[in-house]
Structure 1
């Protein structure tokens, strides 16, 4: 049975009330009031009745909930029961091991959060299970991750900054200018593109949202200052309305049309470069593709990489930037 986050929140409230020895036998109305108080949402009695029924008959919980006619309330027939102490099955343990191995294979050891690994190790140790050593196994999922890539040592610090909305300061190195500059950034998210990680955040010096490669970030520190919230729509556009990570300055979101030859059409059909991608195939096998994005450095690089097999139709400025290679 799939359990939604909302339902599980109600289950926890119900479980807590049934475990409360100072206020035994809560009624359905008591549970309704507790849910409203703890979750700040009104739930119908019908919903809560269904929750209790699901907790009782679920393969996951199998909760021993009984209605006491004398006290007109609910209780656990087994006072030691709690949804927080449900044992894992062999299938659960196997799934945990597979999930850990999947994360290890996808990201390599340096990219796995140490706290995650330690937490999983504790869970398996509790059940006297052996912690899987992925390094000794044959890797089934292969990625182009290269050991020794820079930036991952700061991943956890920046992840916490994004999660808890801590402003950070760090030294940022420019490969182009070959110099360091101190940046104060209000982190929004971490983004991966072409197996490289980037920090997206509001830059105080630029007074706008910017992208910083993790390989160029040195000695990030959490700052004790007020976090600057960025506009939600602006963040969504900056992160989603783009192919790549570095938008071209002063270029708005726009419709871009390009023509692909027979040789590469199937690739673009099989792997769309953006969720907005639409296509119009010609009888010859070539195809017109249209995407609605903010133009980026990476998009121009992608178009140029296909040489004469890809021609930008519009906008004109982008066509001029790529036609020299046709």
Structure 2
């Protein structure tokens, strides 16, 4: 886990602790909770230092990450939120955050031609609701033609690439009289000028080929 992810894990662990008002939290309690979280999520039996958690509390109180957490010390020993309803997970999105998310959603929506996109459709819809995308006109316009010949191969070839399966491709080139057969190690699907292409290396001599999906007649696993 990167240092940034380690820090985020500690912030959310501290936040979870301070929201639990049924318990009183000392600095050592927070250190132990962060160490336990690191072990639970990463399997690392490393003790988080007291100094690290002190710096985390300082960072959470500041506006550097936008938290400005109302962390206070009472009875010179225990930590809590002065606002019991506060949580770093409930912070409103900034306008910059919203713009970044809008751009990401525009791009995610581009992949609805893939079956696997449908597994994400719910997530994208929730993101749209969260950032009120319906109030904003799209600012990225992708080329698309749902009647484009060859789209039926997208998901088939995608799965072969994912499973690293060698495939047999029957391909009818534009300038050839008859189709040809190729045995290919597929590795990339690419869209270019509103057409999809498969890139792969020929089994045997590893020569690189690209095939327009609209010229493919058959695709089968070897």
Q: TM-score, normalised by structure 2?
A: 0.61
Query: What is aligned with 1:14?
Result: 14
Tell whether the 8 Å contact from 1:27 to 1:72 is kept in structure 2 after alignment.
yes
Q: Which residue number in structure 1 is paired with residue 213 of structure 2?
A: none
Q: Who is 2:218 aligned against?
A: none
Q: In structure 1, what is the equivalent of residue 99 of structure 2?
A: 94
The corresponding residue for 1:192 is: 188
Distance 1:128 1:194, change over 3 A: closer
Count of paired positions: 178
Write the distance in 2 (CA, Å) between the matches of 1:50 and 1:59: 13
Does the alignment pair 1:80 with 2:80? no
For structure 1, list consecutive stretches of 5 or more residues without a partner in the other structure: 163-167, 179-189, 197-214, 216-243, 250-294, 303-326
Q: CA deviation at 1:4?
A: 1.5
SS at match of 2:105: helix
* 1:110 maps to 2:113: yes
| CA distance in structure 2 between the partners assigned to 1:131 and 1:120 by the alignment | 15
**Counterpart for residue 31 of structure 2:** 32
Q: Is the 8 A contact 2:34 2:48 kept in 1?
A: yes
For residues 36 and 9 of structure 2, what CA distance do their matches in structure 1 show?
12
Summarize the Cα distance change of 1:192–1:55 in structure 2 as closer, same or farther, 3 Å threshold: farther
Note if 1:48 corresponds to 2:53: yes
Residue 174 of structure 1 aligns to a residue whose secondary structure is strand
Q: Which segments of 5 or more consecutive residues in structure 2 lack a partner in the other structure? A: 40-45, 171-178, 180-185, 193-197, 211-222
Paired position in structure 2 for 1:305: none
* Deviation at residue 247 of structure 1 after TM alignment: 7.1
Larger displacement relative to structure 2 (48-57 or 85-94): 85-94
Shift of residue 195, structure 1, vs aligned partner: 4.3
Q: Which has the higher contact order (CA 8 A, sep 6+)?
A: 2
Question: In angstroms, what is the RMSD of aligned CA positions?
Answer: 4.1
The 1-side partners of 2:92 and 2:51 are apart by 29
Give the drift of 1:91. Answer: 2.5
